Structure 1
Amino acid sequence: MTIRLRAHHLLCMLTYIGRGYTPAFTANYDVIAARLSRGEDIVIVEGPDDVCAPLLAEAGAHCFNESVLERDAQAARDVGDLLGRRIGVGERIAPDAILLARLRSGFAAGLTRAACAGCEWAGLCEAVVVDGFSGAKVGGPPC
């Protein structure tokens, strides 16, 4: 199978430690994190993705907001620049250890965090970075 991710979730997955919006969101993300850790392919999608799924039934789900689409666009640009390749809708990515290490290195250096401006989780993500990505559920800390 393939995991459907919006572009900014390429950043969120780096620091995901099992905290989320709701218990259902966290349970779903734990399953996705395990799949990503096994190297299951990612396909980039526009709008809500597999991570968003538990939130979509809520009235006013933020997953549809223009600001989130802008976050996706910024993340796609920054991750694409970091990796030297296009990151756009339909692109497939294999989340292997080398890719995760490159993404974490770029994230820690601040090269890909413009999309995180104003995100309510930015403080938690910074703490995960400072802690060397300890506890990260996707692929674990870099080697």
Structure 2
Amino acid sequence: MPSTRANVSRMTLRLRPHHVLCSVGFEGVGYDDAFTANMSNLVRGQLRAPGGQDMNILISGHADAICAPCPKRRGLGCASQDRIDRFDADHAELLDLAPGQLLTWGECLEKVRENVVPDDLDRICRDCPWLPGGMCKAAVARLIQ
């Protein structure tokens, strides 16, 4: 059954545009233990948990819930801000997302299904340290089947 605003959970998770696909592809790898534990809690414990598709997602133009414990975080930005800005712009364009947009996690997944094929990641995720591992491409392939 499609989610509606009436059955959306009250909790809202802030995600940068590129973190939508990072959440789809997450397999337990991160910058350090604190980062990985936080992302695992957010992705496995909330988004992939029963009812997770109804969770509110607020698209952010700054550091988000995933960035919180990142060792590269610098206030609302990142030590690799130019690369992160490119990731966010490329992901936002492909997924038709914009900062300030509110949707459910299920709607985010539908945007991935409608707009992304695994080979798109070669372009929009270039320079991502996890791209060569293939886990994100495999996760997108499973999602769009």
TM-score by length of 1: 0.73
Matching residue within 39, 46, 49 for 1:29: 39
**Is 1:46 matched with 2:46?**
no
- Structure 1 runs (4+) deviating above 6 angstroms are 57-61
Matching residue within 8, 22, 29 for 1:12: 22
Which shows bigger deviation, 71-80 or 112-121?
112-121
Q: Percent identity?
A: 27
Q: Mind listing any 5+ residue stretches in structure 2 that lack a counterpart?
A: 1-10
1:84-109, CA deviations, whole angstroms, 9 ceiling, x for partnerless residues? xxx1111012122x752651575444
Q: C-alpha displacement at 1:79, in angstroms?
A: 0.9
Aligned to 2:109: 100
SS at structure 2 position matched to 1:8: helix
CA RMSD, aligned part only?
2.9
Q: C-alpha displacement at 1:4, in angstroms?
A: 0.5
Q: Which amino acid aligns with 2:56?
A: D
CA–CA distance in 1 between the matches of 2:120 and 2:136?
16
Q: Which amino acid aligns with 2:125?
A: C
1:14–1:104 contact (8 Å) kept in structure 2: no
CA–CA distance in 1 between the matches of 2:74 and 2:23?
25
**Is 1:78 matched with 2:104?**
no
Which shows bigger deviation, 36-45 or 63-72?
63-72
Name the structure, 1 or 2, with higher relative contact order (CA <8 Å, separation 6+). Answer: 1
The structure with more strand, counted as a fraction of residues: 2
Q: C-alpha displacement at 1:22, in angstroms?
A: 0.6
1:25-76, CA deviations, whole angstroms, 9 ceiling, x for partnerless residues? 0110011112112221110011211001001576798456122112101110
Number of residue pairs aligned between Structure 1 and Structure 2? 127
CA–CA distance in 2 between the matches of 1:57 and 1:127?
22
